[in-house]
Amino acid sequence: MPKKIMKTFTLLLCLLSFGIATAQQNPAPVKATTQKEWDELDKNFIALVDALVKGDKTKFLALSCKEVDCVDCVGAVEAAKGAVFVPAEFYFTVISQKFTESPVYKAMAKKGYSFSSVIVENFKPKVVPKDYPKDLKIYEVWVETYKKDEFAKGHPGTSHSFRFIKINGKFRFYGMTSIP
């Protein structure tokens, strides 16, 4: 088994074990995401992509947090510190340029996208109101940008996630991340 696959398998096994251990220590039920929420997220995501495609900054800003998390927007030194927030206007200016020519847009148009959510316990980023709950629920729209070996032989593949959070009952674009 190649080292990279073994490392990935080991990491996934550790994450699964940690998740199970954490779940056993904290049995509080988590409110499941409803179909209505997924539909609402889908509409917001489509509107966000439409704003990027059309270069509609006003619409983009209305759908976004004031600042968005974008680890890929800055250098590795800053990214190592954790979440990196940049003004939504800056993000729009950078990302909307030639968005339809980007690998993410092309993959989304060809392959579609999927949804997931994750709860980050005891995490309250600076972009949420002071009365926001202590746990942050992030709704993700995943795009499989490249499958394994699709970009180049030996490339592990890449996926990008458009991340949203709910503020006062409305979805707001929170940022973007990618794996690996």
Question: What pLDDT sits at residue 7?
Answer: 46
CATH number of the domain at 34-179, please? 3.10.450
Q: What is the DSSP string of 103-155?
A: HHHHHHHHH--EEEEEEETT---TTS-TTS-SSEEEEEEEEEEE-TTTSSTT-
Tens of each residue's pLDDT in the chain, 180 residues? 455 544 444 433 333 444 444 444 554 445 788 999 999 999 999 999 999 999 999 999 999 999 999 876 765 444 445 678 899 999 999 899 999 999 999 999 999 999 999 999 998 888 899 999 999 999 999 999 988 988 889 988 899 999 999 999 999 999 998 888
**pLDDT the model gives residue 17:** 41
Domain range list for the chain = 34-179
Query: Quick one: which of 154, 147, 60, 59 has its CA closest to 103?
Result: 147
Token reading at 84? 């990196």
Residues recorded for the chain: 180
Q: Which residue, among 157, 161, 136, 159, has the nearest Cα to 147 in the 3D structure?
A: 157
The closest of 35, 33, 91, 86 to 60, measured between CA atoms, is 91
Q: What number of other Cβ atoms are within 10 A of residue 27's Cβ?
A: 6
Over the Cα atoms of the chain, what is R_g?
17
Burial 50-76 (b: 16+ CB within 10 A, else e): ebbeeebeebbbebbbebbbbbebeee
Residue labelled with tokens 């490249």: 146
Assigned token pair, 133: 């709950």
